[in-house]
Structure 1
Amino acid sequence: MIVYTVGTFDLLHVGHLALLNHCKSLGDTLAVGVASDEVVNLYKPNVPVVPLEQRVEMLQALSCVDIVRPYHALEYVSGCKAVNADIFVIGEDWGSNTHNLDVNAYLKQMGKEIAQVRYNPRTSSTKIKQMVLAQFNAPRNLH
């Protein structure tokens, strides 16, 4: 069974690790799609802090990840086809945009599965960025 999930994976953190380990537990092979900066710009206000090549390298270093595949268009059908996914793992914020509905229809037609997961409440890249900014902008006590 090949499990496929997608994301930005900026500022790799324990929430990402929990997600990827969970995905790996669903099958034999875990393939991860990594959004390019151009794709991220289509649905998030800021591009990732970490360049795509480095995000790919970090994911490739994880023992639970077997395949890392950057993607440069906001659609998921080609990724599912490329890795021959049996299960496509999505987050709780999965919506009804065209790119979501297209992959949903494709997977249903092919008899494949969609598994939805909750995000880890412990952290997120956004929370990490907010904490860094808060610390950077905080008045410093020099005594």
Structure 2
Amino acid sequence: MGFARELNFLPGDTDVDVRIGLEFTNNRAAFDAVVVLVRLFAQNGFRLMRETYLDGRPMQTAFAHRENDNTIFDIYYFYSGVSEGRYVNANDFGYRRKPRHLIDNKKSLSWPGYATLKVNVPQPVEDYLAWRFGPEWRTPKKNWELGPVDNACIEPLPQVTVLTYGTWDLFHQGHLRLLERAAALGDHLVVGVVSDELCAIKGKQPSQDEATRAAAIHALPFVREVFIQRMLDQKEFDIERFGAAHLVVGDDWINHPRFEQVRDYRGVELHYLPRTPGISSTSLRAELTAGSRGP
């Protein structure tokens, strides 16, 4: 961001913004990074202005130079491993899910006027600014002038997150009804799709691959997040990273240790919802198999 301002992409703002990518699973590394940064900035004449945290994880650290309060050095921490293909940062006002290509596609360039000072800049920088500030990013605006169009990348924080899993092979009305009932428990439905590899480990042979099955879930307007489940024992991690208040499972799994062991984990409420009778992926696969054999 600072680099873009120096090149007059965003004139009139003296703040310098830096993004640091961290793994969500390594909370200790995030705290260690903040401690090191505060010490280094203090040694170079900067004072700590503010820190923000969400669910115990650092999200922002801001510094100002002791002799020049007009320039704010803002560091934002974005976490991988929360949202598929994205890095996530959040505060009390909302969260941003930065597409991974805006992190991975970067180039080391010299800061204007300082040939030896190298910074990693998203490439092309125009794509990054369009994601962050919307279609009007070339129009100079102060922070208090930014409206919904400029802040479209900031999504409201969910109030009640619902988490569920499934293979979702040959998506049918039974799947739809279960997901609709799950969505009614909150305002942010997160759906895990069992990976092809995990299906094989469990002895399942879905007719569709994981990408096709996930696409069917993505297409549902009431689903807010879709991810690929790659491990059997990742439920505690998913409850934590998504902040789930409810975990929904079909009633064919009732009292199964795999789900009972996470009952009340971080306050999550476990629900076993009834399946729709008379329809299942298994029966649909059998019908397709029989049909392919002919009379």
Match of 2:289? 133
Larger Rg: 2
Match of 1:82? 241
Match of 2:80? none
Match of 1:64? 222
CA offsets 1:34-55 (integer angstroms, 9 cap, x no match): 1101222233x33222111121
Shift in Å at residue 58 of structure 1?
1.4
Moved over 4 A (4+): none
Q: Distance in 2 between matches of 1:112 and 1:46?
A: 28
Contact in 1 for aligned 2:165/2:193 (Cα 8 Å): yes
Q: Distance in 2 between matches of 1:116 and 1:13?
A: 19
Shift in Å at residue 90 of structure 1?
1.0
Q: Distance in 1 between matches of 2:268 and 2:286?
A: 38
Contact in 2 for aligned 1:87/1:115 (Cα 8 Å): yes
Structure richer in helix, relative to its length: 1
Normalised to the residue count of structure 1, the TM-score between the two structures is: 0.85
Answering whether residue 35 of structure 2 is matched by residue 35 of structure 1, we say no
- Report % sequence identity: 32
What amino acid does structure 1 have at the position aligned with 2:221? Answer: S
1:49 aligned counterpart, secondary structure: coil
Shift in Å at residue 111 of structure 1?
2.1
Q: Distance in 2 between matches of 1:55 and 1:26?
A: 23
Contact in 2 for aligned 1:34/1:70 (Cα 8 Å): yes
CA offsets 1:4-42 (integer angstroms, 9 cap, x no match): 100101111111110111111111110001110122223
Contact in 1 for aligned 2:236/2:265 (Cα 8 Å): no
**Cα 1:9/1:89, change in 2 over 3 Å:** same
Structure 1 regions of 5+ residues with no counterpart? Answer: none
Contact in 2 for aligned 1:33/1:79 (Cα 8 Å): no
CA offsets 1:48-80 (integer angstroms, 9 cap, x no match): 221111211111111121110111100211121
2:217 aligned counterpart, secondary structure: helix
Task: Decide which of 47, 54, 67 is 2:205's aligned counterpart.
Answer: 47
CA offsets 1:92-142 (integer angstroms, 9 cap, x no match): 122534x334322xxx14222111101111311101011112222242xxx
Q: Distance in 1 between matches of 2:223 and 2:286?
A: 28
Q: Distance in 1 between matches of 2:267 and 2:239?
A: 13
Q: Distance in 1 between matches of 2:199 and 2:205?
A: 6
Structure 2 regions of 5+ residues with no counterpart? Answer: 1-159
Q: Distance in 2 between matches of 1:46 and 1:116?
A: 22
Q: Distance in 2 between matches of 1:129 and 1:109?
A: 36
How many residue pairs get aligned? The number is 134
Q: Distance in 2 between matches of 1:86 and 1:35?
A: 21
Structure richer in strand, relative to its length: 2
Q: What CA RMSD, in Å, does the superposition of the two structures yield over aligned residues?
A: 1.5
